[in-house]
Amino acid sequence: MITIGAGRVGGSEQDGISVFKGIPFAKTPFGPLRFAAPVPVDPWDGVLEAVRFGPRPPQPPMMPGLPAWSPDEGLDCLTVNVWTPDPGGSGLPVMVWIYGGAYRSGCADLPVYDGATLAGHGAVVVTFNHRVGMEGYGHVPGAPDNRGLLDSVAALRWVRENIAAFGGDPGNITVFGESAGAGAVACLMAMPLADGLFQRAIAQSVPGMFFTPAHAARVTESIVARAGGTSPCDSPAEVLVAAAEAVATEEIPGNPREWGPVAFAPLAFAPVVDGEVLPDTPWNALATGASRDVELITGFNRDEYRMFHVMGGGRFDDVGRAMRVLAPAGAEHAYREAYPGASDEDLYVTLMSDWMFRMPSALLADAHTGTTFAYELTWSPTPAFRACHGLDVPLTFGALDDELAQMLAGESPDLPKLSDQFRRAWTAFAATGDPGWPRYDAATATTHVFDVEPADLPDPEAASRAIWSKPGFSPIG
């Protein structure tokens, strides 16, 4: 049993690791608190048996065939989970994970996010739920934007105030995340509200999509129309989930004239550069000195878009049109010159990889004025998916038997070796600030390459970086 600020909690044991699941860090974000900033939880009496994950936030199925969210699961979704190798100790580095899911879905109870293996390296590992979709990122008049980010801030405050009781060092916190979770990490580095809540950050495959308030408001108008014209505050969560998914899958795709770049990767939600919660894009904020005292690892997977391409049946849009909408002026000529002999399909996959994740991550490394380390995952365990988006997640957590690892890595005998590389680098960085390779600077762009034979190379994606280095990523809308 452990005593924290709000009361006593009991946990369980998992392979020598103490585990605490479903501890509330904020009040239920529904009823009078719906669409509000998170409010700290009230103290409780007795012992909270923290042995089950908390409910998921409202969301559509993360993948076809998975069960849809239901309000019957419960609405008290703002909870944290802790894995600690030494709850009676002190001074252990702390690693706080933020899940991805395109800002529309995600939850901390996925088996791939089990923190026991990472904790076995001598770290206290924390995961938590935050609001997604309309509840977390939808624009609601009179409510703060970016409520999912505000949930992340509240969770990090909880960690700072309570993690010593689990053996962690509240002065040595690393926040890490992948995809939309990496976008949240980048946002936190740009947010004054998050100042001082973490000392290190790892951003794995940072997405480049951010919205203006006007674009976010327009998305809400479309969602409200599909939800029957009722105010979001008066619409059940499951109705808004269905309406938002319809906008994302039926209205936005293939319609750049109406929706701009997001039509090529149809998202209804993204962080909103509102000037308050999120004052500017991460690239602009970091370039002007935000989070200069935070040590950063950022990187990407070489073939990011391959997962979406394969799962989408290999279909692809007109390359010329995509280049004109998504990329800097003159990009089609530059891409064809940089990748001679590439087919239109291969160019499209490279463009989408660059636009969605590779170049946002690379330019974040360029923008950061503090200590920075860069990486690229090039390990290609299957000919279909190659080094695709999401491959790094089971490697990071050592979840080698997870469905995601089996789908993306197949039966590769090198899976344990690559996972060991990631876990050792990430936990060493969390403990000491040194992942084991040279620091990054924009002049040489020295990048650590994760592969069967790892290497430190100068600017391995120089061709794409030359195309994208100046324009950067502005909010959509």
* Residues 382-406: tens digit of each pLDDT: 999 999 999 999 999 999 999 999 9
Nearest C-alpha neighbor of 469 from the set 261, 327, 263: 327
All domains of the chain in start order, with CATH = 2-208+275-301+358-448 (3.40.50.1820), 214-264 (no CATH)
> Mind listing the pLDDT tens digit for each residue in 152-181?
999 999 999 999 999 999 999 999 999 999
d(CA 167, CA 186): 27
pLDDT of 374 over the 90 cut: yes
Percent share of the chain, pLDDT over 70: 99
* Mean pLDDT in residue range 415-431: 98
- Known catalytic membership, residue 304: yes
Q: Residue 140 corresponds to which amino acid?
A: V
C-beta contacts of 108-112 below 8 A and 24+ residues apart: 108/53, 108/79, 108/81, 109/21, 109/53, 109/54, 109/56, 109/81, 111/399, 111/402, 111/403, 112/393, 112/394, 112/397, 112/399, 112/402, 112/403, 112/404, 112/405
pLDDT of 64 over the 80 cut: no
Q: Which one of 295, 304, 376, 461 is the catalytic residue?
A: 304
- Known catalytic membership, residue 179: yes
pLDDT of 470 over the 80 cut: no
272: tokens are 């909103």
pLDDT of 67 over the 90 cut: no
> Mind listing the pLDDT tens digit for each residue in 122-140?
999 999 999 999 999 999 9
Q: Which residue has the higher pLDDT, 72 or 460?
A: 460
**Three-state SS at 263:** helix
pTM score, whole prediction: 0.98
132 neighbors 126 (Cβ within 8 angstroms): no
> Mind listing the pLDDT tens digit for each residue in 277-315?
999 999 999 999 999 999 999 999 999 999 999 999 999
Supply angle C-alpha 253, 248, 321, rounded to 5. 20
d(CA 368, CA 361): 11
Q: What local confidence, expressed as pLDDT, does residue 471 receive?
A: 66
Burial class (CB in 10 A: 0-12, 13-18, 19+), 66: exposed
* Mean pLDDT in residue range 86-115: 97
> Mind listing the pLDDT tens digit for each residue in 257-266?
999 999 999 8
Count helices and strands (H / E) in the chain: 17, 14
* Mean pLDDT in residue range 97-113: 97
Q: Which one of 18, 105, 152, 179 is the catalytic residue?
A: 179
For the chain, what is the largest distance between any 2 Cα atoms, rounded to a whole number of angstroms?
68
Least confident piece of the model among 12-16, 35-39, 467-471: 467-471
* Mean pLDDT in residue range 13-22: 97
d(CA 253, CA 317): 11
Q: In which band, very low, low, confident or very high, does the pLDDT at 63 lie, cut at 50, 70 and 90?
A: confident
**Three-state SS at 55:** coil
* Mean of per-residue pLDDT scores for the chain: 96
Q: Which one of 152, 389, 419, 461 is the catalytic residue?
A: 389
21 neighbors 125 (Cβ within 8 angstroms): no
> Mind listing the pLDDT tens digit for each residue in 217-246?
999 999 999 999 999 999 999 999 999 999
d(CA 148, CA 386): 31
Q: In which band, very low, low, confident or very high, does the pLDDT at 150 lie, cut at 50, 70 and 90?
A: very high
475 neighbors 211 (Cβ within 8 angstroms): yes
Q: In which band, very low, low, confident or very high, does the pLDDT at 62 lie, cut at 50, 70 and 90?
A: confident
Q: What local confidence, expressed as pLDDT, does residue 356 receive?
A: 98
* DSSP secondary structure, 324-389, as one string: HHHS-TTHHHHHHHHSTT--HHHHHHHHHHIIIIIHHHHHHHHH--S-EEEEEE----STTTSS-T
Nearest C-alpha neighbor of 345 from the set 370, 313, 369, 389: 313
Block residue for tokens 């973490």:
198
Beta strands at 92-98 and 168-178: parallel, antiparallel or unpaired = parallel
